[in-house]
């Protein structure tokens, strides 16, 4: 099991940017290096179901939900055991609690945007609020 801690959330105006970070630590990293983990972000919108946002596999291949494609960028820094989500051109409908999640999956498997919803390790979340 890996411990995930998100940071970087906050309040911004529409059109603004934020970068979320997710630091990984814990026993899980003694069994598998951070680079081996598939990681991703999902969000909980107010009064709605959780929504997968983006995913990155162990080879660095990424995927995005249609609602964020072209605006959000997911990346991993394996040396720092940290996952990022760069969010640009934010919209009020991006307002949500954002969670990072991780799992060890068969190497090279394509990670769909909704896959993080099923990952076993997840953080406590960081709130993003976008005002119009």
Predicted pLDDT of residue 106:
82
pLDDT digits (tens, 9 = 90+) for 85-122: 999 999 999 999 999 999 998 888 899 999 999 999 99
> Residue 33: which residues within 8 A CB-CB, separation 6 or more?
78
pLDDT at 21 over 90: yes
Q: What does the alpha-carbon distance between residue 119 and residue 43 come to, in Å, rounded to a whole number? A: 13
pLDDT digits (tens, 9 = 90+) for 67-84: 999 999 999 999 999 999
Please state the φ and ψ torsions of residue 69, each to the nearest 5 degrees: -60, 135
Mapped onto helix, strand or coil, the DSSP state of residue 15 is: coil
Residue of 11, 21, 24, 48 lying closest to 127 (CA atoms): 11
Total Cβ atoms within 10 A of residue 125: 17
């Amino acid at each position: 099991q890996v411990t995930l801690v998100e940071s970087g959330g906050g309040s911004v105006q529409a059109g603004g940017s934020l970068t979320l970070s997710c630091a990984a630590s814990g026993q899980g990293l003694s069994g598998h290096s951070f680079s081996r983990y598939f990681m991703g972000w999902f969000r909980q919108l107010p009064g709605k179901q959780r929504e997968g946002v983006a995913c990155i596999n162990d080879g660095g291949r990424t995927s995005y939900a249609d609602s964020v494609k072209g605006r959000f960028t997911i990346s991993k820094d394996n040396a720092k055991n940290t996952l990022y989500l760069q969010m640009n051109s934010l919209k009020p409908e991006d307002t949500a609690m954002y969670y990072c999640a991780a799992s060890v999956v068969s190497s090279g498997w394509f990670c769909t945007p909704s896959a993080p919803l099923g990952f076993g390790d997840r953080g406590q979340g960081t709130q993003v609020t976008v005002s119009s």
